[in-house]
Amino acid sequence: MKNITLFWFRRDLRLTDNIALFYALKSKSPVLPVFIFDTEILDLLESSKDGRVEFIHNQLQSLNKQLEKYSSSLLVLHGNPIDQFKLLIEKYKVTSLYFNRDYEPYAKKREHEITELFKKQGLDVHSFKDQVIFEKNDILKKDGKPYTVFTPYKRKWEEAFSTLSIKNYQTEPILKNCLQVEPFSLPDLQKIGFQKTDYNFPPATINDEIIKNYDQNRDYPYLDGTTRLGIHFRFGTISIRRAVKKAHELSQAWLNELIWREFYMMILWHFPKVEDHSFKQKYDMINWRNDEQEFSRWCQGQTGYPIVDAGMRELNETGYMHNRVRMITASFLTKHLLIDWRWGEAYFAQKLLDYELASNNGGWQWAAGSGCDAAPYFRIFNPELQTKRFDPKHAYIKKWVPEYKSNKYPEPIVEHKFARERALEEYKRTLKND
């Protein structure tokens, strides 16, 4: 039996400019690429129609086609990753494992356990930074502590970036070092318990025009003013190095958003408690109303506030919601309805195709006021004013709420002024000793 190197695909589903894959292919043994549909994650999904699983499955098919050109194949498994790696170690003469790092609490735990498993058997493990430009402790304050405010973090990020020369890890010429095998059969979606959905997945193309005009257009939900690349960053079907280079050339505003993405990942890595606690501890003392009926109306886009309802309906139908409207709907849930940000966060996590723990958590805690560098608690979005500014002709509203202004449209779930006062009172009461 030949020695082999294992490469473990996770949120880096591409062959080009994939750092751990690049180094795996440069190692002495031929590379067997592996993807594991992790049942620990899949079992938690609420619906068998999940666009994210379908997206991954499509991408695995595409990777397999590309690998066939090199007489190689992707081994796709389904189960608990530890068990699956144990089986692989028994079956093959594995010498080492290569993967790109992930920063979410569960992923970190899984990486740690698998690393221990390999090390106990005397096998090498090599992990790499791939999904961000800067990770973990790369960007710290002078006193060695992590930043918790975005603007100084961004400044330091840009300073550090200006000293880097971004390299593209071209894997194409060395792919011939993949293990030559008869093609493995890829389990179909049904076999792993899922079905196809009706979602249209955005293409993995960086549109220069959108980026050039990003600063002027990004806040208007009725325009195609943002890139829709979130799902590709989430699953690594686009290289962040490529995107950042492009941002650097074409748009500071777009670059800022890519830095926000890294900021939230850094926060989650340093403060994993934010996964289920407020960053600012006191905010966990808020007396949320948590009215289940009101929550259900918010989820369904039936609050009687058209900009909120348009956003929720866009999310329910397409798996996407425009950033401006994410802010408005999140503010509405936490402030107008005084419903715990964790409820809204969980709903977005279930529905968003571009769902990403760090950014979703960051976005929700920003809206609730409980996050690092969050909106101050007294900043309560007025849905009507937001509509006037960002959807003045109601183009977005008309698209998603066609019955608006007819008698089929519900009355507002709560009166704005009353809700605002109620929220201010509760926040003030909780934070009075701040």
Query: What residues line the site for ligand FAD (CB under 6 A)?
Result: 218, 226-230, 233, 257-258, 260-261, 264, 323, 326-327, 330, 348, 352, 354-356, 359-360, 363-364, 367
The residue sitting closest to ligand FAD, measured at its beta carbon, is 363
The nearest distance, CB 129 to ligand FAD, in angstroms, is 17
Residues in the chain, how many? 434
Q: Given the complex with ligand FAD, which of 72 and 226 has the nearer CB atom? A: 226
Contact between residue 232 and residue 52 where contact means Cβ atoms under 8 Å apart: no
Task: Compare residues 326 and 336 and give the one whose CB is closer to ligand FAD.
Answer: 326
Long-range pairs of 342-347 with CB within 8 A, sequence gap ≥ 24: 342/276, 343/290, 343/295, 344/298, 347/299
Please state, in angstroms and rounded to a whole number, the distance separating the CA atoms of residues 357 and 104: 7
CB of 375 to ligand FAD, least distance (A): 10
Which two three-digit tokens encode residue 114? 């698998």
**Cβ 187 to ligand FAD shortest distance, Å:** 27
Q: How many of the other CB atoms lie within 10 Å of CB of 29?
A: 17
The residue (of 279 and 348) whose beta carbon lies closer to ligand FAD is: 348
Separation of alpha carbons 190 and 22, rounded Å: 32
- Residue 87 or 166: which CB sits closer to ligand FAD? 166
Name the 3-class secondary structure at 250.
Answer: helix
Instruction: Using alpha carbons, select from 14, 2, 1, 7 the residue that is nearest to residue 125.
Output: 7
Of the residues 269, 298, 341, 400, which is catalytic?
341
> In the beta sheet, which residues pair with residue 154?
none
* CA-derived radius of gyration, the chain: 23
**288 given a catalytic annotation:** yes
> Closer to ligand FAD at the Cβ: 66 or 213?
213
User: Do the bridges between strand 124-128 and strand 3-9 make them parallel or antiparallel, or are there none, so unpaired?
Assistant: unpaired
Is 366 considered catalytic here? no
Question: Nearest Cα to 93, choosing from 2, 183, 165?
Answer: 2
Q: Is 254 a catalytic residue?
A: no
Half-sphere exposure of 218 (CA within 13 A, CB side): 18
Nearer of residues 4 and 238 to ligand FAD, judged by Cβ:
238
Determine whether 364 is an active site residue. yes
Provide, rounded to whole angstroms, the least separation between the CB of residue 212 and ligand FAD. Answer: 12
Give the separation between CA 386 and CA 399, rounded to whole angstroms. 17
CB of 428 to ligand FAD, least distance (A): 23
Question: Could you tell me the smallest distance in angstroms from the CB atom of residue 68 to ligand FAD?
Answer: 30
User: Which are the catalytic amino acids?
Assistant: 257, 260, 288, 323, 341, 364
